[in-house]
Chain A
Amino acid sequence: MDQFVQAVINGIMLGGFYAVMVLGFSIIWGVMGVINLAHGEFIMAGAYTTWFLSKQYGWEPLVSLLVVMIIFFVIGYILQRILINRIIDRPPLISLLITFGLAIIMSNSFKLVFTATPRSVDTLLSGFWRTGNVTVPVTKTTILIVAVLMMAALHLFLQRTRLGKSIRAAAQNREAARIVGIVIAAVYALTFAISISMTGAAGTLISPIQPIYPFMGAVLTLKAFAITAMSGLGSIPGALFGGIVLGLIETFVATYVPGIGTNLGIISSYVILVVVLVVRPQGLFGGLKPVEVR
């Protein structure tokens, strides 16, 4: 029983991280129709930035979060302007190939600069809370709280502000949005910048709990896709649901299938992905097509 409760707690905490990690991916896809295969690499870059700030200046990951978000906002904006904007009107396969190239460039550049040695970030928020035989790690709880706060903030931004509404309008119907005076190029640049900023922040969140290495990205991209397949594009509640489902499945597999460890995490998300795609190609919530950002 304790083992079960422990697995549920761990799964939900992992799921909170997955939910915040997937948002950038599903919003870029939902709003712009660009499938960002370099998504995991941006998470990796965010984690490395946090590691660098922590090692060089001794910053807490939670403090770096804001800095990382600003840095990645700027990077995302520039990248959208010089690269993604060129291919936005071309078939999505072009964007697949471009971001695939980008992913390779990023992971290998980071390997060149930081070597392939796995790194880890220390945080003051370590330790455990203990109730009976169930332990609740403080770091992961903090991550879950921050993740939920970030999602709530993004939700409010998309629902309540003019800019957020224009992003949703552009996702729903680009031509109509243009007609009512929304500058599509600006909205896309903003969308990309916000998404990349969220993605970099996800890297900061993951940095205290997982080893950081240059090739961690591909697995995360795949998980992002599996969650998006479950949750639909751009849906924040859906992302939370999909993230927690994946987190629970991964933890339960790791807990109850002996002798296999965490490698099965990627396999289980892959199985979910293929099963969802084959059984319900439109996604569990009917969202695997560009629809409104909720």
Chain B
Amino acid sequence: MKKLNYVLIAVCSLAIVILGVAFHSGAPIDRALTGNAEEVDKIALDNPEMRQAQNDIERLKETVIAMEGRLNRTEAILSELRSEIAGSSQKSANHFEQAGSQLKKALTTVQIEQSNRQQREQAVARLVDYFHTEAIDSAWSPKMAGLIQDRFLNTETLADVRLINSECRASLCRIEAEVDNPEQMLLFETELPALIGEELPRMTTFSEEQGNGSNRVTVYLARKGYKLP
């Protein structure tokens, strides 16, 4: 019984060694088992079916190589096309972005001008209404209107500015004047605070171009201690 065990162990070990050699050498197991690979090749070459199969494999290899070449060329063309399309899209995007920006800017400028004009018209309407409905302070109004006229007449720098009218109510005065050019206009605007700013610290100015190139200027001024409506 013991001898039989030893024989079985020896056979198994031999089989393991043979299989190990076959795996390490990469040779087919049958050849490893037979131990004569050259003989197997010779048999394969002598066999016409095997030869045909090998030829078919070679042709398939060539076909695959040729297809790989075509695929590479196609991929290169595709890559070029993609980059061209991307460049074209970027150009188009830039073009539209630029055009959009210009359009936006143009619209914004128009909107700003329109909004400012509306705002000024509303402000004028509000002040005109307020001025006409406000009661007259019989003590202060004529005194203040007279003071405005006196100071205008006694200010040499405003000699060219034509004072048309000055009128006061209880908290608001209105000065109407005419100037011939932008320089006179600027002088009028900058001199006015020094002239009557102590009595009428807050003012808002509206000017309207006349047909003859001159400007009609209307200034609303709030009495000290009051705000403009």
A binds B: no
- Using CB atoms and an 8 Å cutoff, list the residues of chain B in contact with chain A: none
Interface residues of A, Cβ cutoff 8 Å to B: none
